[in-house]
Structure 1
Amino acid sequence: MTTKTNRSYFVNRAAAVALSVFAGLFSLQAGAESIAIYAGKLFDSSNGKLLEDRTIHIVDGRVESVQKGFAKRDRERLVDLREYTVLPGLMDMHSHLTYEFGPRAYMESFSWNTADFTLRGVDAAHRTLQAGFTTIRNLGDHDNVTVSLRNAINKGLVEGPRIYTAAKTIATTGGHADPTNGLRQDLMGNPGPVDGVIDGPISARKAIRQRYKDGADLIKITATGGVLSVAKSGQNPQFMQDELEAIVEAAKDYGFTVAVHAHGKEGMIRAIRAGVDSIEHGTYMDNEVMDLMRRNNTWFVPTLMAGEWVTEKSAIEGFLPDLVRPKAATMGPLMQDTFSRAHKRGVKIAFGTDTGVTRHGDNAREFLLMVQGGMSPADALRSATWNAAQLLQVQDELGSISEGKIADIIAVAGNPLEDISEMQRVLFVMKEGVIYKESSELPGDVFLEQDISG
C-alpha cells in the first residue's frame, strides 16, 4: 500500500468514525425529543369536555397517543402538569401583527419604514405566542411583512405563532383598505391590484394572482366600509357581485380561502352568495344574513374586542379622526348583540379578535366577551381550537390534542370551564413539541430529569 493510499485510507476512516459518532449523538438527541405530559385535566375540544388524569405522549413534535392515567415510558422526558388544566394551543382567526392602534397610528404610513413594521411584528408575534396562541390568521399587513415573518418563524429564527397570512388586503378604489384614503389629492395616485386595490373582475383576478406571487396563504377582502378607515360610511357595499364572484373563483384555483371584512348587510349578502369562507365583524347582520350563512356553511368571526375598543375610544375627545369617531360610537356597541343573536341562531363561529386594533398579547379577553354574550366557556374554547382548525382547513393537523396531530399544548392553573378568565393567565406554552413558556408560577422546572431506566 502506498503512502498516498495509506493517507487516503486514514482520512476516510476518520471521516467514517466522525460520521458514526455524529449519528450516535443525533440518535440520542432524537430520543430526547420523546416527551410525556401528565395532564390533571385535559380539554377535549372535539366535545368541549374535561378529561381527568391523562398522559400525552409526544414524539418529534407530534402527539403519538393520549392515555388514561399517569405513566411515562422509557427515555421519555416528563412534563408534570397534574395540578393544571391542559388545552390545545389557541388559534386567533383575525389578527394584524404589524399594527397596534394608537393616537399616532394614522401617521405611521408616512413616518415608519418597512423595518419598523417588521420589528413591531416580531414583538407582537412573541407576545401572542406567550399568551397561548400558537396559530393565527393575519388578515392584512404592511408591505407583505407577515409573509417574511411567517417564513422566519417557520425556520426557527424568530419566536411566534404559526402564521397563515393574507398579506395585503384587497379593496376597491376608495374602499375600507384603500391605502390612499384620507390623503390629499396629489398623494392619492391610482393604486392597483399590486397595491391591493381593484375595480372590475379582471383586476380582481390579477389581485388574487398577485397574492399567490407574494406568498400569501389566503385572501382577505373588505366587502363593506369599516370603522377606522378615514371614509364616511362604515357599512356601504364596496364590491359588485361580479367582482366578488371573480375573487372567489380565482381564489379556488389557487387553493385560497376568502375572509371578508363586512359590517353592512348588503355587502355580506353579496359575499356569502359568491361563496366566501368567513365573515369578519358582521355588525349589521340580521336573521336573513344569518340564515344565508347557515345555508352556505359560512363562518362568522365576531372580533368583539375591537367593538369594545372603538366604543371606548370614541368617547375620548381627539383620539379618533372626526370622520371616524361617529362610526365608532354607533357601530362598536352593536357587535356584542350581533354575536349573541348569531350564536343563538346557530351560525358557525370561530374565534377572532382583530388584535392590532387592541394590544397584542391580550387576545384572550375575547373569551370573556363571548361568554358575556351568552356562549358557554366550553364553546368559546372550541371556537379557538376545534372550530378555528375547521375554518383554516387544517383539522387533520391542529385544533385538538389527539393522535397524529401537531403538539401545540398550553396550560392554565384553574378550570376555565368554571372561570373563563383563566385563559388570560396561560402558564405553559408548547408549540410543535418545543416549550416556549414555563411560568415561574409553576412548581419549579416542569421538566423532571430524563429517566432512562423506566
Structure 2
Amino acid sequence: MRRVRQRGLIAAVAALAFGQPAPATAQQADYGPQYIRTGRLIDGVSDTVQVNQCIIVMHDRIERIERCGQTPRGMHVIDWSAYTVLPGLIDLHTHLADLGQSADLAAPMKASPAETALVGARNARVTLEAGFTSVRDVGTYRGLTDVTLRNAIERGDVPGPRMWVAGAYLTIPKGGGELNGVVPNEQLPPDMRLGVAATPEEAAAKTTYLLDHGADFIKTIATGAVLAIGTEPGAPELTPEQLRAIVKVAHARGKKVTAHAHGAIGIQNAINAGVDSIEHASLADEATLQLAKKHGTWLAMDIYNGTYIDEVGTKEGWPEEYLRKNRETTDAQRAAFRRAVELGVNIGYATDAGVYPHGLNARQFRNMVKYGMTPMQAIRSATGRAAEEMGRTDVGAIVPGRYADFVAVKADPLTDIGALETIDHVMKGGVLVR
C-alpha cells in the first residue's frame, strides 16, 4: 500500500515555525491508479449502504465507483472488502494552531509563534490519523498561525488534514475572543489582537485585513465565552452593526462568516446580520432555533466537550469561572441540539477540538446519536453535510470528481457509532496515511 514519505520532516516543521521557505523534499508521493475494494460503502450524501463496490482513484481524485469485478490492468489494489468505507471525516470546529486548553491562562502568550506552529503541526498529524481529512479551523490566539499551518500542509511540509482557516477572532476589546486575565489587554502581543474591533468601521477593516492575509472565512465573537475570563456566554458582544459590516465585506468577496454565539440574543443578532453559521448555540431557545431554520443558518454544536471540561477541568484546576459557565451551558446545549434535530435545522459536525485533545474528535458521535440523530445522520453531518456547510464540492463524499479522502473501519458504525473512534485505515488525496 502506498504511504506518504516524509523526508526532512524536522527541517520542514522548523521552517514552518519560523516562517522560512519549506524544504523542496517535504513530501514525495506516487499517485498511481488505484482500485479500492470495499465491503460496505457509505457515500456521505445518501442514506443507502452499498456493498461490493470498487472505487477507482486516479491521482488524488475519485474517477468512478462501480461494482467490483476483475481488477483493471495497471491498477494497484487496496483490499478493504472486510471494512465499512466512508468519506474522510470533517470537523467544522477545531483549533489546530493553538496550544490546547489548560489551567494556565497565560499559556498562549508564553508560547512563541514558532512553538505554536510546532504544536500545530503535531495537532494536524494526530487529527489526520484519527480519520479527519478536512477541518475548519475557527481561530487561534496567535493570529495567522493557522494560515501558516494550512499552507505548510498544502505544500506537503507536514502531514495534516485539509484546512480552512479564520486567521484570528473578530471580537470586541476584552471580549470572548481576547486572552483576558493575564496582562492588561493593551499589552498583549500585536499578533494576539489582530481581530479586535470597537466599531463597525474597525470590524470591516479587520475583516479585510484577515482576508487579505489568507483567511478562508471569518470567525466572529457574537457573545461572551465559556473559556474566557470576564465574559458571559449569554451576553451579546459584537453589535448588530458590527456583524452586518463584517458580513458585508466577507460576502462581497465570496467568503462565509461564522459566529461564536451561546446566548439567544447574540445568536439572533448574528443570524439577522446574515452570518452563515453559528458555533455552540448553547442557549438557543425555540424562537432562535426557528429563526435558524427559516434562514437556513447552520449550527455547529460541540455537544461532547462539556463532559471533558467538567471532568478534566475540575481535576486539573481550571478557573472556577470556566467550570461554572460550562455547567450552566452543557445540558442546555444538548437540549437545544435535540430540538434542532427535531426541527430539521442544518447541523454540521463540530467538536471544539483543542478544548479537549486533538485526535479524539470522533468522541462526539456518540452524543449526537444519544441526543437525537440517527447514526447515518451523525455520519452525514461529518461528511456530505459538513462539506455543504463549508460550500465545498471537493470533499465529504464518495462521488466522482471529489478528493480520494476515505476512512475504513472493521465494525459497522451504523450499528455502533462508537466504531468511528477507532479508525483502521485513512487515505487522503489517494495517499494512504494509515
- Same structural fold, with TM-score higher than 0.5 when normalized by the shorter chain: yes
Q: Show the 5 A alignment for 1:284-303.
A: 284-303=283-302
Partner of 1:175: 175
Q: Show the 5 A alignment for 1:243-262.
A: 243-262=242-261
Q: In 2, Cα distance between the equivalents of 1:75 and 1:57?
A: 12
Partner of 2:226: 227
Partner of 2:4: none
Q: In 2, Cα distance between the equivalents of 1:41 and 1:428?
A: 14
Partner of 2:358: 360
Q: In 2, Cα distance between the equivalents of 1:55 and 1:372?
A: 33
SS at match of 1:279: strand
Partner of 1:381: 379
Q: In 2, Cα distance between the equivalents of 1:293 and 1:393?
A: 18
Change (3 A) 1:76 1:236: same
* Distance apart, 1:184 and its partner CA: 4.2
* Distance apart, 1:189 and its partner CA: 6.9
TM-score, reference length from structure 2: 0.89
Change (3 A) 1:31 1:190: closer
Whether 1:264 aligns to 2:263 is yes
Partner of 2:71: 72
* Distance apart, 1:98 and its partner CA: 2.6
Q: Show the 5 A alignment for 1:92-241.
A: 92-141=91-140, 142-179=142-179, 181-185=180-184, 188=187, 195-241=194-240
Partner of 2:23: none
Q: Show the 5 A alignment for 1:273-292.
A: 273-292=272-291
* Distance apart, 1:182 and its partner CA: 1.3
Partner of 2:426: 429
* Distance apart, 1:32 and its partner CA: 6.2
The alignment's C-alpha RMSD in Å is 2.0
Q: Is the 8 A contact 2:310 2:323 kept in 1?
A: no
Q: 1:370 aligns with which of 360, 368, 371?
A: 368
SS at match of 2:203: helix
Q: 2:319 aligns with which of 321, 332, 335?
A: 321
Q: Counterpart of 2:170 in structure 1: which amino acid?
A: I
SS at match of 1:323: helix
Larger radius of gyration: 1
Query: Which is further off, 124-133 or 305-314?
Result: 305-314
Q: In 2, Cα distance between the equivalents of 1:194 and 1:112?
A: 15
SS at match of 1:300: strand
Q: Which deviations, in whole Å up to 9, do the C-alpha atoms of 1:77-114 show, x marking residues without a partner?
A: 00000000000000000000133544344121332111
Q: In 2, Cα distance between the equivalents of 1:279 and 1:30?
A: 38
Change (3 A) 1:199 1:51: same
Partner of 2:304: 305
TM-score, reference length from structure 1: 0.86
Q: Counterpart of 1:86 in structure 2: which amino acid?
A: V
* Distance apart, 1:415 and its partner CA: 0.7
Partner of 1:442: none
Q: In 1, Cα distance between the equivalents of 2:307 and 2:184?
A: 33
Q: In 2, Cα distance between the equivalents of 1:88 and 1:244?
A: 34
Partner of 1:44: 43
* Distance apart, 1:193 and its partner CA: 10
* Distance apart, 1:287 and its partner CA: 1.1
* Distance apart, 1:147 and its partner CA: 0.6
Residues paired across the two proteins, number: 406
SS at match of 2:235: coil
Q: Which deviations, in whole Å up to 9, do the C-alpha atoms of 1:173-199 show, x marking residues without a partner?
A: 1210023x2134485579799621111
Q: Is the 8 A contact 2:143 2:193 kept in 1?
A: no
Gapped runs of 5+ residues in structure 1?
A: 1-28, 438-454
* Distance apart, 1:212 and its partner CA: 1.3
Q: Show the 5 A alignment for 1:432-447.
A: 432-437=429-434
Q: In 2, Cα distance between the equivalents of 1:153 and 1:97?
A: 12
Q: Is the 8 A contact 2:143 2:192 kept in 1?
A: no
SS at match of 1:172: coil
Q: Is the 8 A contact 1:412 1:427 kept in 2?
A: yes
Q: Is the 8 A contact 1:280 1:301 kept in 2?
A: yes
SS at match of 1:290: helix
Query: Which is further off, 77-86 or 187-196?
Result: 187-196
Q: Which deviations, in whole Å up to 9, do the C-alpha atoms of 1:368-415 show, x marking residues without a partner?
A: 110111210000000000111101111x21111111111111100011
Q: Counterpart of 1:156 in structure 2: which amino acid?
A: G
Q: Is the 8 A contact 2:139 2:168 kept in 1?
A: yes
Gapped runs of 5+ residues in structure 2?
A: 1-27
| Identity among equivalent pairs (%) | 34
Q: Is the 8 A contact 1:127 1:361 kept in 2?
A: yes
Q: In 2, Cα distance between the equivalents of 1:328 and 1:166?
A: 24
SS at match of 2:169: coil
SS at match of 2:164: strand
Whether 1:420 aligns to 2:417 is yes
Q: In 2, Cα distance between the equivalents of 1:121 and 1:329?
A: 29
Q: Counterpart of 1:436 in structure 2: which amino acid?
A: V
Q: In 1, Cα distance between the equivalents of 2:419 and 2:374?
A: 14
